[in-house]
A = this chain, B = another copy of it.
Amino acid sequence: MTAELVGPLSATVAEGVRRRIDRLLADFIDDHRLPVTEPGVEEGFGLLREFVVDGGKRIRPLLCYWGWRGAGGDAEGLPAVTAGAAVELYHAGLLIHDDIMDASDLRRGRPTLHRRLGASTAILLGVLVQAWADELMAQATGDPHVRALFNRLRAEVISGQYLDILAEPGEERARLIVRYKTAKYTVERPLQIGGALAGAAPDLLAAYSRFGLPLGEAFQLRDDVLGVFGDTAVTGKPVLDDLREGKQTVLIAHTLEAATPPQRAHLRRWLGDQDLTEERAAELRQIIVDTGALTRVEAAIAALLEQSLAGLAACPIAPDAREALAHFADRLTCRAS
């Protein structure tokens, strides 16, 4: 099924959208230099620019673009690209703050901003790009419906992060976090923002939810698997981070649920240990495999992808948008992405 979904057209379009997002963000930032000239501030500004412009898979802008196209928007899609860039700016601000909260050293293969500039400066720069996001969204549109979706997106992702910080264990909680932090924030709302910009009817926006929510959930499950079994060269972050952080993912919830008492004791002892060694991590990975949790999550990813693609098939949209979104869904949930 996979091969036929990977159309060269949608890949070319994606490449074009990514280039436009990079250019638009670079121009916007260059246009928003801070009013003070001073080496310390200039240095931070330069690192911020690099972080925003030269990084990220641009998942949300691409979904925004195809949400627009699916609703009959033109191929150029300037409003959707601009709104997508705004969402991406907001996301950059969240990532800067996330890395502080998680005390992460690397992001996109480079030292995190707070490691280079200190936590206070990184908090400020995160806040700055979030204000920019707002400004850029206002450039994209004054449509109150789109603004309402953007407002909801922001409240939802913060809710998901809040639940995440509370760190209650269990599958139910883990799935709720996935819903807010990823399914709604990364997939459903960007699609709907693009759709609403092109004047999509409520029916289409609801269909986008039926496609987007399971896809977003599958994407997060894939990300959780990669966070434990992935390759730093691909993910850009050390593969020990999630285990050291003791992230309460669905994968970990399944593992704990199916673990034998000695396995569970071992997990409880080492998950979340800041100084976890590679050897201990290998033991934890083995338990995750032995309990069947990995297989269970892989099966869930496959089922969610199927559900998502069924939702997509029922979307009343043009064939090229459908093909592109199917391709995209496949990429988001496949093993190597």
Interface string of A160-187 (1 = CB under 8 A from B): 0111011010000000100010000000
Interchain CA distance A278-B134 in the complex, whole Å: 45
How many positions in chain A have a CB within 8 Å of any CB in the partner chain? 44
Q: Which residue of the partner chain, among B34, B38, B93, B176, contacts A166 with CB atoms under 8 Å? A: B38
Q: CB distance A120 to B135 under 8 Å?
A: no
Q: CB distance B36 to A176 under 8 Å?
A: yes
Known: A36-B159, A155-B34, A155-B128. A120 touches B138 (CB 8 A): no
Q: Which residue of the partner chain, among B40, B44, B155, B165, contacts A131 with CB atoms under 8 Å? A: B155
Cβ of A154 < 8 Å from any Cβ of B? yes
Q: CB distance A180 to B36 under 8 Å?
A: yes
Q: Considering the complex, which residues of chain A in the window 122-180 have a beta carbon less than 8 Å from any beta carbon of chain B?
A: 123-124, 126-128, 130-131, 134-135, 138, 142, 144, 147, 151, 154-156, 158-159, 161-163, 165-166, 168, 176, 180
Cβ of A57 < 8 Å from any Cβ of B? no
Q: CB distance B131 to A35 under 8 Å?
A: no
Q: CB distance A41 to B135 under 8 Å?
A: no
Cβ of A121 < 8 Å from any Cβ of B? yes
Known: A131-B130, A163-B41. A155 touches B123 (CB 8 A): no
Interchain CA distance A214-B283 in the complex, whole Å: 65
Copy tally for this chain in the complex stands at: 2
Q: Which residues of chain B come closer than 8 Å to A130, judged between CB atoms?
A: 127, 130-131
Q: Which residues of chain B come closer than 8 Å to A128, judged between CB atoms?
A: 154-155, 158
Q: Which residue of the partner chain, among B36, B97, B166, contacts A40 with CB atoms under 8 Å? A: B166
Interchain CA distance A118-B40 in the complex, whole Å: 29
Q: List the interface of chain A (C-beta within 8 A of B).
A: 32, 34-36, 38, 40-41, 44, 93-94, 97, 100-101, 118-121, 123-124, 126-128, 130-131, 134-135, 138, 142, 144, 147, 151, 154-156, 158-159, 161-163, 165-166, 168, 176, 180
